[in-house]
Amino acid sequence: MIRIGNFSGFYGDRLSAMREMLEGGDLDVLTGDYLAELTMLILARDRKEDPGIGYALTFLSQLRDCLRLALDRKVRIVTNAGGVNPAALVAAIRQVAADQGLSPTVALVRGDSLGPDSHAYLGAFGIARAMSADIVVTGRVTDASLVIGPAIARYGWDREAFDQLAGATVAGHVIECGTQATGGNYPFFTEIPDMLHPGFPIAEVFEDGSSVITKHPGTGGAVTVGTVTAQLVYEVQDARYAGPDVTTRLDTISLRPDGPDRVSISGVRGEPPPPDVKVSQTRVGGYRNEMTVVLTGLDIEAKADLFRHQFEAALRVRPQELDWTLARVDVPDAATEQQASALLTVVARDPSRRNADRAFSNAAVQVALGSYPGFFATSPPGSAHPYGVFTAGFVPQDAPVHEVVHDDGTVEPVEPPRVCRALEPAAGEHRAEEHGAGEHGAGEHGAGEATRRLPLGTIAGARSGDKGGDANIGVWVRDAGAYPWLENLISEERVRELLPETAALPLRITRLPNIHAINIVVEGLLGEGVAYHARFDPQAKGLGEWLRSRHVDIPVSLLSPEEAP
């Protein structure tokens, strides 16, 4: 096997993680994932202010601390910390090494940049060609490529080894977000024994593409079938998980325990990749300003209407977009003032900073003493700030000039895949009838069976996230016997009932019976992406927990003795 660890799941992750992983046990490769849609926008702005940066500065700090240790332990480092300026990061790494009297070999994978603010998601074969180096730096690649590339290099898989590539894709997807695979953001977190500092995950990838997910002994958190499932359903679309090298069938995954803090992944099947690769396009969409006022006690709706009309009348220039949200977090006869209060938020967006800046702030100030009783705001009116817009595009597989620049300066081209297949949606197989539940109505388990009305999260886990302007919620149950009930429960009608925000939006539901999960994609919930900030949870991180909190009728036979009457 090849033993591949992760030390970063995003730009800002735990700085000590690289050292923790290098000192914690044996590794062949250590990967660091820093890039998200929002990060690309941040790094692009950094580079515009200083052409010498545009990469993840924290990676350089980590490497400065750990370079000698990594070389001594013969652990190769693979990272997409290059961001929008990977060549500059390579130069900075060489300077750090020279300052310490070290001379690691550093390879650069390039070709993702397709113009200003436009980056293709490159695959893993460039990384594989670069693995003779001590450190491999990339720009935008798929997150899983950081794991797939070293596995290709170890086993010599070719472009048509689709099952092996798919298996490595799943392993990479599980560990790409760091401690989310070891108990972080886990819905049943109270069952994890030590959550103070969860250990970072490791994928042991085998020649047939199967893998074991684990972590260093003695580290916090846990690796269980549940924690792995939670990460598997994070930020996915349907049963076909498309990448530039392979389309992975998520409905073929098999999970099983393999000892303490060890979960085996096997049976993954792959198909040829699509003929096009995804392109991330991030740009500044304009300027945004926001203000939240507090409404306390009685007549909440009337107070909100009064302030809204006064505020809009006071605007000398109306911004292009003006959005209002009233959060009724107040309770009647509240024991504290905070519990008696609701929040009214107004958001302005406009191509012109002036129209979202002083005009917006002045309108809020002018009405302060002549509005509803008890008026106050959570903070003073602030200045307008740029907001970002994300757009997903696609280009043919051969459009990016995918290359490896080796340590000696030689350039090696990376050919695109020879075999491709147009991507078709896959909603997964409906198996409720196989489990004897297909004859019952939505949400039922058996005709006439007793139920209790409880939060869905009593027996179901969920994890949610963003894909551009769409949000996904992966919902699963840990007991195979409960899956037919969940499968019948989660319909478009029921999702709209449980999550009213989705009422007017397209939904896509995918069944993943092998892991007892269902994936829900809500199209357009996040507007034009995370940096657009369409809702107060702009990345839909809490969307799954909202769904788990909603009450449904759960068959008593699926409940524990403590939960049943």
| Residue 176 pLDDT > 80 | yes
Q: Encoding tokens for residue 273?
A: 């990749």
Query: How do residues 481-495 score in pLDDT, each as one tens digit?
Result: 999 999 999 999 999
| Residue 433 pLDDT > 80 | no
Report how far apart, in Å, the C-alpha atoms of 202 and of each of 68, 152, 199, 404, 560 are: 21, 17, 9, 26, 33
Query: How do residues 287-297 score in pLDDT, each as one tens digit?
Result: 999 999 999 99
The helix/strand/coil state of 553 is strand
- Check residues 536 and 273 and name the one with the higher pLDDT: 273
Which of the four pLDDT bands, split at 50, 70 and 90, describes residue 377?
very high
How far is the C-alpha of 506 from the C-alpha of 523, rounded, in Å? 5
Element (H, E) at 132: none
Average per-residue pLDDT for the chain:
94
Query: How do residues 251-277 score in pLDDT, each as one tens digit?
Result: 999 999 999 999 999 999 999 999 999
Work out the average pLDDT over 524-533.
Answer: 91
Tell me the whole-structure pTM to 2 decimals. 0.93
Fold of 286-388: Alpha-Beta Plaits (3.30.70)
| Residue 441 pLDDT > 80 | no
Work out the average pLDDT over 301-310.
Answer: 98
Query: How do residues 93-129 score in pLDDT, each as one tens digit?
Result: 999 999 999 999 999 999 999 988 899 999 999 999 9
Query: How do residues 188-228 score in pLDDT, each as one tens digit?
Result: 999 998 999 999 999 999 999 999 999 999 999 999 999 99
* Pick from 485, 477, 482: nearest CA to 437: 485
| CB 471 within 8 Å of CB 543 | yes
Torsion of CA 14, 15, 20, 26, to 10 degrees: 100
| Residue 387 pLDDT > 70 | yes
3-state secondary structure 368-429: CCCCCCCCEECCCCCCCEEEEEEEEEEEECCCCCCEEECCCCCEEECCCCCCCCCCCCCCCC
CB contact set of 514 (below 8 Å; sequence gap of 6+)? 251, 252, 253, 254, 255, 267
| Residue 376 pLDDT > 80 | yes
Q: Which residues of 466-480 are buried (b: 16+ CB within 10 A; e: fewer)?
A: bbbbbbbbbbbbeee
| Residue 436 pLDDT > 70 | no
Work out the average pLDDT over 67-78.
Answer: 98
| Residue 445 pLDDT > 60 | no
Give the pLDDT score at 359: 86
| CB 417 within 8 Å of CB 305 | no
Give the pLDDT score at 444: 46
Give the pLDDT score at 151: 98
**CATH 3.30.70-classified regions of the chain:** 286-388
Work out the average pLDDT over 297-314.
Answer: 97
